[in-house]
Structure 1
Amino acid sequence: MGLLTFSHIAISCTDAIATEKFYTKYFGFTRARVVPLGDQQIVFIKLGQMYLELFQASAESPVPPPTNDGPQYPAWRHLAFQVDNVDAKLAEMKDEAKIALGPLNFDDFIPGWRTVWVADPNGNIVEISQGYVDQENPPQLEDADINSRIPEAANAP
């Protein structure tokens, strides 16, 4: 396999300017490129090697905005960022932190793991977390793990 790296996440924005300000102000993104498209533009913002591609939405959402930690139906559930201190980040964001869920402690899983979910200017859910660490030796994925969760797989020839 040749080169494979994560490229970007595209967001259709109710207010692309407010979205860019939110991610630059609170998560350190910077403007990387602007692509003009007639009377519209696509704005790429980046944090390290992670890009968000911002489009101005041209239609209303057919579903209500997500709540809690994101949609419960098949979709991208949320974006997540690690910080040193969730409470300090919330204090920095003040009224712009539209809390959807939490803050919650997950010490039963990882000591010091704490998370809050907030809505960005478009209503997309953003997780802000502290203290997450990888599991030392996670179990390997096996075909049986996947097949047990997909009803059609049980009936496949």
Structure 2
Amino acid sequence: MNWSHVALNCASVPVTEEFYTRWFGFERANAFVLGNVQIVFIRLGEAYLELFGPADGSPRPPGGPALPSADGPQQRGTARHIAFQTDDVDAVLARMGDAARVTLGPLDFAEYIEGWRSVWLTDPDGVVVEVSQGYKDGAGT
């Protein structure tokens, strides 16, 4: 198992991407639209941020309760989930057994990147954790 990324909810993906690229040296690693949500991966060395835009393309208002989502809270300014990369999502789920409290998936994203699959589960405190296999940079940049 390897560290993968932290996913951030953004009022504006371009504004957040520019902030991290300009001031911290991140570079775009991937970008695509999943359903109606813009997603951009940026990286600095081996560290990734996954930037999520609002589902309808408009900025989210600040404050208020987090919107429910199986892959983590969607409130602007919050971490959506933490993520780890593995060679085999199914093997991880089998090894975890009942400890894998799955909230979403496993889902196949081969339409975007061949071999990419992810599952989301919660840790004992309710933090959403993504376990993914097959992600590669550059497919949608």
TM-score by length of 2: 0.50
- In the alignment, the residues of structure 1 paired with residue 82 and residue 113 of structure 2 have an alpha-carbon distance, to the nearest angstrom, of 20
> Going by fraction, where is strand more abundant, 1 or 2?
2
Length, aligned pairs only: 79
Which of 1 and 2 has greater Rg?
Answer: 1
- In the alignment, the residues of structure 2 paired with residue 123 and residue 137 of structure 1 have an alpha-carbon distance, to the nearest angstrom, of 31
Q: Between the two proteins, what is the percent identity of the paired residues?
A: 51
Work out whether residues 67 and 75 of structure 2, in 8 Å CA contact, stay in contact via their aligned partners in 1: no
Q: Which residue is equivalent to 1:109? A: 112
Match of 2:114, SS state, is coil
Distance 1:66 1:94, change over 3 A: farther
Instruction: Map 1:12-31 to 2 at 5 A.
Output: none
- In the alignment, the residues of structure 1 paired with residue 68 and residue 108 of structure 2 have an alpha-carbon distance, to the nearest angstrom, of 22
Q: Which residue is equivalent to 1:96? A: 99
Work out whether residues 78 and 124 of structure 1, in 8 Å CA contact, stay in contact via their aligned partners in 2: yes
Instruction: Map 1:1-157 to 2 at 5 A.
Output: 67-74=69-76, 75-135=78-138, 138=141
Q: Which residue is equivalent to 1:35? A: none
Runs of 4+ in structure 1 deviating by more than 2 angstroms, as ranges, are 63-67
Distance 1:107 1:95, change over 3 A: same
Match of 1:129, SS state, is strand
Instruction: Kindly provide the amino acid, as one letter, of the partner of residue 71 in structure 2.
Output: D
Question: Could you tell me how far 1:137 is from its partner in structure 2?
Answer: 7.9
State the structure with bigger RCO (CA 8 A, min sep 6), 1 or 2: 2
Question: Could you tell me how far 1:71 is from its partner in structure 2?
Answer: 0.5
Runs of at least 5 residues in structure 2 that lack an aligned partner in the other structure: 1-5, 7-45, 48-64
Task: Note the alpha carbon deviations across 1:59-112, whole angstroms, 9 max, x for none.
Answer: xxxx68964100111210000000000000000000000001000000000010
Instruction: Kindly provide the amino acid, as one letter, of the partner of residue 132 in structure 1.
Output: Y
Work out whether residues 118 and 130 of structure 2, in 8 Å CA contact, stay in contact via their aligned partners in 1: yes
- In the alignment, the residues of structure 1 paired with residue 72 and residue 118 of structure 2 have an alpha-carbon distance, to the nearest angstrom, of 13
Distance 1:137 1:98, change over 3 A: closer
Instruction: Kindly provide the amino acid, as one letter, of the partner of residue 73 in structure 2.
Output: P
- In the alignment, the residues of structure 1 paired with residue 108 and residue 75 of structure 2 have an alpha-carbon distance, to the nearest angstrom, of 25
Runs of at least 5 residues in structure 1 that lack an aligned partner in the other structure: 1-8, 10-48, 51-62, 139-157
